[in-house]
Structure 1
Amino acid sequence: MRDTLLIALCAFAGAAATGLAGAGVLRLIRRRSLTASLAVVAAVGVLAMLAGTLAVAWAMFLSPHDLTVVTTVVAMAAVVSLATALLLGRWVVARSHELAAAARSFGDAGAFRAPTGPATAELDALSRELAATSARLAESRQRERASETSRRELVAWISHDLRTPLAGLRAMAEALEDGVAADPGRYLKQIRTEVERLDAMVGDLFELSRIHAGTLSLSLSRMSLYDLVGDALAGADPLAREHGVRLVGAHVEPVPVEIDGREMSRVLGNLLVNAIRRTPADGTVAVAAERGPDGVVVSVSDGCGGIPEEDLPRVFDTGWRGTDARTPPAGAGLGLAIVRGIVEAHRGRTAVRNIPGGCRFEVTLPLPS
């Protein structure tokens, strides 16, 4: 028993010294290829066994003949271990290079294509993560391109919508200044109308900038949808009468919601104004509000004749105005973008779909907790 313990201690001492030396070598080459590290690990295992054997022989527990036999066996094991480590290292490094080359593709705005050859579980998991990252980057690039297109369209349309009334205001001001206006009162009334429209446009731009900057602050309070819809219908009634459109507020349930009343009134107002302006005379704009499976659904249905299916995904984009002329009363294309921003700030969502004779805009709000 005592001899066995001494043999174990001598073998451990020799192997530990080799292990410490191997750890030092691994630290020195930690930035080198994986093949070198695997070769060092294989060599440490074999040399640890040899060092332990030599320590036991030095303690005179092995005869010279037995030491020769053990050393020969260890040498053969070293050759096989190093060859295996080198082959494994070269294979892993080759798979890593293939993965790195594939990763460069989506870094250059391309699509990531995972290497087709076999790989270790870790490299395979990394490949899946890179594929998922590539897909998210592609979606982000697509959103960025769509956002940039919207910004360019918005700048073009706003420039057009500002230039026309400003030119008219300057002409009317010059006419008043020169005293050549046949009806100064009519000119002053028209100037006020144009100024109010420009002020509304600037207000929409300011609201949209707050939404995009994430600085839109909400003052939430619990109120009934019945009251919210009633106030919105009352506010839109004069415009509906002017256009000869009927406003219908049927199927409005008195469901309680937790919202910012001022901002949600703006949402309904924008939806109603949009629907009234695009519904022909003698048409109907209907508002409904009811409890749904995912929350409270407020909808505005119009008689615009429908929206082309390819345009439906862009309806709520900033500056989008479809095929309408870029002149009043089409507006600057900000109303529906503001609607989406305010609704999303309430943790809700917007949607639009075609119905017979028109389209239906839906706003889904979460139920109060």
Structure 2
Amino acid sequence: MKDLLLIAMFAALGACSAGLLGWPVVRLLRRRSVALSLFIVALVTVLAMTAGTLAVARAMFLSHHDLGVVITVTSMAAVVSLVTAALLGRQVVAGSRALTAAARTVGSDAGFTAPGRPLGSELAELSAELSATSARLAESRRREQALEHSRRELIAWISHDLRTPLAGLRAMAEALEDGVAEDPGRYLTRIGTEVDRLTGMVDDLFELSRIQAGALTLSPARVSVYDLVGDAIAGADPLARERGVRLEGAEVAAEPIEVDGREITRVLANLLVNAIRCTPADGVVAVAARREADEVLVSVTDGCGGIPEPDLSRVFETGWRGGSARTPRPAEAGAPGPHHGDTGAGLGLAIVRGIVEAHAGRASVRNVTGGCCFEIALPSAAALG
């Protein structure tokens, strides 16, 4: 037992001596190549093993032959260990360089291209994360480009839509000023209508800007969706009568929701006015509400004949109006609200989506037989407790 302790002591002294000499070298080279660091670690390990072995061999007074055998075996083991460490270091460096080259493609138009050579588990995990990051960057870039395109379209359309009523207002004002208007009362009525349209357009732009800036302030309260739908139908009824469209709301459940009643009423009014204007005379606009799981689904189905499939994903985009014409349609007398829930600027459905998403809900549209169905999903107050 005493001999074993003595051997352990000599081995520890030899190994510690090599370790103390190697540690400063490892510290100095910690910012250098990984391959060099691996080689130095292997070298320190080999030197520690060799020093401990030689210290024990000398302490045991081995013969020159036996000492030569120990030194030979130790040297061969050291050579194999160092060669293996060098090869491993080169493999790690090659994988790291390949991943570095691949990382330069993150966020490019072509997308991230993973290295073709096999990688270690850590580098492979990093490669997968870079690939996911590149995909997120590409999606963010596409979203940004779509928003920029939508913003430019909106500016162009709003500029046109503002120019048209302003030109009309100027012409009518000049006619009244020059005294050439045959029916001044009709001109004044028309001026009031155009002012209402411009006021509605500005209001919609302000509302949309608040939504997109996240500055929309909500005052939620528990209300019945039945009451909200009833108020919206009552407000849209004059426009429906004038257009010869029948409103139906028989399938509206009295489900409680916790929302800002004023904002959701605006959502329903926009959907109803949009549906009425797109439905031909003698058509039907049906409103329904039901609860599914933790949501209350409110749908407005019209008879517009359907929306082309390529346009379904654009319906809620700012400025989208489903046609090439950009001139606002004439206002209908007796329609609800000062600007009839629609300024012709293509902002109504964008406002619908913004308000619904501000309530942690979602808005969607799908084609149905003879028309399309707009649906908003709102969290149920019963599910919230």
The corresponding residue for 1:362 is 375
The corresponding residue for 2:47 is 47
Inter-CA distance 20–212: structure 2 relative to 1 (3 Å threshold): farther
Instruction: Tell me whether 189-198 or 127-136 shows the greater mean CA deviation.
Output: 127-136
Aligned residue identity for 2:145: R
The corresponding residue for 2:90 is 90
Using the TM superposition, give the Cα deviation of residue 108 of structure 1 relative to its aligned residue in structure 2, in angstroms. 2.7
Aligned equivalents of 1:155, 1:279: Cα separation in 2? 28
Aligned equivalents of 1:119, 1:29: Cα separation in 2? 24
In structure 2, stretches of 5+ residues that fail to align are 330-342
Deviations 1:316-356 (A, max 9, x none): 11111122511113711111111111111111111101111
The corresponding residue for 2:364 is 351
Report the TM-score when normalising by structure 1: 0.95
- Matched-pair identity in %: 69
Q: How many residues align?
A: 368
Aligned residue identity for 1:345: A
3-state SS of 1:289 partner: strand
Using the TM superposition, give the Cα deviation of residue 236 of structure 1 relative to its aligned residue in structure 2, in angstroms. 0.8
Instruction: Tell me whether 146-155 or 184-193 shows the greater mean CA deviation.
Output: 184-193
Deviations 1:168-221 (A, max 9, x none): 111222222233322222222211111111111111111111111111121111
Using the TM superposition, give the Cα deviation of residue 57 of structure 1 relative to its aligned residue in structure 2, in angstroms. 5.1
Using the TM superposition, give the Cα deviation of residue 9 of structure 1 relative to its aligned residue in structure 2, in angstroms. 2.4
Aligned equivalents of 2:207, 2:18: Cα separation in 1? 71
Inter-CA distance 100–186: structure 2 relative to 1 (3 Å threshold): same
Aligned equivalents of 1:169, 1:20: Cα separation in 2? 91
The answer as to 2:305 corresponding to 1:292 is no
Match runs of 1:1-369 below 5 Å? 1-56=1-56, 60-63=59-62, 65=64, 66-293=66-293, 295-329=295-329, 331-368=344-381, 369=384
The answer (yes or no) to whether the contact 2:364–2:374 under 8 Å persists in 1 is yes
Superposition RMSD in Å: 1.7
In structure 1, stretches of 5+ residues that fail to align are none
Deviations 1:14-59 (A, max 9, x none): 322322433322222222221101111110110011222344356x
The answer (yes or no) to whether the contact 1:253–1:290 under 8 Å persists in 2 is yes
3-state SS of 2:42 partner: helix
Inter-CA distance 2–178: structure 2 relative to 1 (3 Å threshold): same
Inter-CA distance 207–51: structure 2 relative to 1 (3 Å threshold): same
Deviations 1:274-327 (A, max 9, x none): 111111111111100011235111000011110001110110111111225111
Aligned equivalents of 1:172, 1:22: Cα separation in 2? 94
Using the TM superposition, give the Cα deviation of residue 103 of structure 1 relative to its aligned residue in structure 2, in angstroms. 2.0
Aligned residue identity for 2:306: G
Aligned equivalents of 1:67, 1:261: Cα separation in 2? 94
Aligned equivalents of 1:189, 1:16: Cα separation in 2? 101
Report the TM-score when normalising by structure 2: 0.91
